[in-house]
Amino acid sequence: MHKKYPNVKFHIHCCDSIEALERMQNDKCDFIFIPYIDHDIKSLYSNMLLPLRSAWGYLISKNSPLAAMDGMRFPDIKNIPLLVPESFFNDRASLDWMRNFTEDMNIIGTYNTISGCCDLINENRCIALAHCFSADSYEDADLCFHQILPTSSYMIWKNNASLSLSARIFMSYFEEVACEKAAENTTVG
């Protein structure tokens, strides 16, 4: 996008969905990227399904014995110190599927942004439950990502929002990418 529109600038703010929705309601952001969309969000906001790879999983040190495991499941991490997103206990939709397992998890703390946890993970002091839009995000670090649940990715914005030119360009870029990915995935029979 930057090559085509070098004057369009944007800010990325990481937070849980409750804070993100509050920011949008208070006109502090134009778009939110989320891994799920429920009925309430669909009724209040416009949305676009994005062709981004997205998943929940564990961020683990590459030198941990866990890193070599294939098909890691909840029992495999039962006694391992685990950091979870700060929103884990109050973000109703994003982690409903995992709440049944919290009694069996050794949750030692929460985090706001995953980058603050990397040193602890790299030193094998813990692992972290993380949502990654790309499993390759941490390839350069000494960390690896073990996917446990693939998810969709959505971009949402206020219904009938009066978007700036930069925001409209930003949205049109994602519409173009979504159309290109859809065309790649379409087969002629």
Joined together, the tokens standing for residue 170 give: 């930003």
End-to-end Cα, the chain, rounded Å? 33
Q: What structural domains does the chain harbor?
A: 17-51+153-185 (no CATH), 53-151 (3.40.190.10)
In this prediction, residues 135-151 reach a mean pLDDT of: 70
Query: What is the distance between the alpha carbons of residues 79 and 152, in angstroms, rounded to a whole number?
Result: 30
Instruction: pLDDT band for 113, please (50, 70, 90 cuts).
Output: confident
The CA–CA distances, whole Å, from 168 to 8, 12, 31, 112 equal 10, 16, 11, 29
**Mean pLDDT, all residues of the chain:** 79
Query: What is the distance between the alpha carbons of residues 112 and 177, in angstroms, rounded to a whole number?
Result: 29
Reading phi first (left if > 0) and then psi (alpha if -120 to 50, else beta), residue 60 is in: beta
Q: What is the pLDDT of residues 38-82, one digit of tens each?
A: 778 888 899 988 876 667 788 999 999 888 887 777 777 888 999
Q: pTM for the complete prediction?
A: 0.63
Q: What is the pLDDT of residues 164-186, one digit of tens each?
A: 898 998 889 888 877 877 677 65
